[in-house]
Chain A
Amino acid sequence: AQSVTQPDIHITVSEGASLELRCNYSYGATPYLFWYVQSPGQGLQLLLKYFSGDTLVQGIKGFEAEFKRSQSSFNLRKPSVHWSDAAEYFCAASGGSNYKLTFGKGTLLTVNP
């Protein structure tokens, strides 16, 4: 079955520190991959996407993600976290004959001053 796993439920970092949020997928073929962010009381906003080509993709708000086929991973990174980055982050995938988005359970990011 297709699945997306975000191993970390909650991560706390200090402002200015680097960040990496993990995402692993299980799909029959290479899926299309997405990262979304959800601020409190808001819907989901797309940060970045990977369809094909360069495995390092740049997104909005200074985020980037790297697709690693060998590890079935699509980890999200940011070199220096800002307090406004505190939110919940969702990894999602779609692909093959299934156009539906499969979401991970999310990682809640807390940023300490």
Chain B
Amino acid sequence: ETGVTQTPRHLVMGMTNKKSLKCEQHLGHNAMYWYKQSAKKPLELMFVYNFKEQTENNSVPSRFSPECPNSSHLFLHLHTLQPEDSALYLCASSQEGGTKNIQYFGAGTRLSVL
């Protein structure tokens, strides 16, 4: 148990569906991250929130929409996804968004887009 909880663990959705991924951290951290992990590719940083403000959007398509209502919760809203968006989506948190800050990861949501 890392203190970062992601729900759901598995999600299957059609290309026209709208769904949301949830991440909650119980570590008192101020920075939260979304990563995409696809087979045979390095982890891709998608979004960073530091003290609830988005500080990084790594050229992510608009069909992915993040939301950070407070420092403990992070959402990823999904709509009109493509099959190539199927992947493991990992959430992480750190004390704050600095170079020495260690990131703690959740177990991920395995997303399949049909």
Question: Judging by beta carbons under 8 Å apart, are B42 and A42 in contact?
Answer: no
A99 CB contact (under 8 Å) in B42, B43, B99:
B99
A94 interfacial contact with B, CB 8 Å: yes
How distant is the Cα of A4 from the Cα of B43 in the complex, in angstroms? 12
Which parts of B62-114 form the interface with A (CB within 8 Å)? 90, 92, 97-108, 110
Q: Provide the residues of chain B in CB contact with A104, threshold 8 Å.
A: 42
> How many chain A residues touch B (Cβ–Cβ < 8 Å)?
25
CB-nearest residue of chain A relative to B108? A43
Q: Is B45 at the interface (CB under 8 A from chain A)?
A: yes
Residue A46 interfacial (CB < 8 Å)? yes
Known A-B contacts A90-B43, A103-B43, A105-B40; A44 and B99 likewise in contact (beta carbons under 8 Å): no
Chain A residues with CB under 8 Å of chain B are 4, 32, 34, 36, 41-46, 49, 51, 90, 94-96, 98-106
Minimum distance in angstroms from B94 CB to a CB of chain A: 9
Given contacts A46-B104, A99-B99, contact A105 B42 (CB under 8 A): yes
Task: Kindly identify, within residues 1 to 38 of chain B, every residue whose CB is under 8 Å from any CB belonging to chain A.
Answer: 2, 4, 6
Assembly CA distance A4 to B90 (angstroms)? 20
Interface of A is mostly: strand
B41 touches A45 (CB 8 A): no
**Residues of chain A lying within 8 A (CB to CB) of residue B97:** 99
List the 9 closest A-B pairs by CB distance, nearest first.
Answer: A43-B105, A44-B105, A103-B43, A43-B107, A99-B99, A94-B99, A103-B42, A105-B42, A43-B106
Residue of B nearest to A9 (CB): B40
Q: Which of A46, A90, A103, A106 contacts B102 (CB 8 A)?
A: A46
With A43-B108, A46-B102, A49-B102 in contact, do A100 and B42 touch (Cβ < 8 Å)? no
Residues of B contacting A100 in the complex (Cβ-Cβ under 8 angstroms): 45, 48, 56
A41 contacts B42, C-beta separation under 8 Å:
no
- CB closest chain-A residue, reference B9: A41
B56 CB, nearest partner CB in chain A, Å: 7
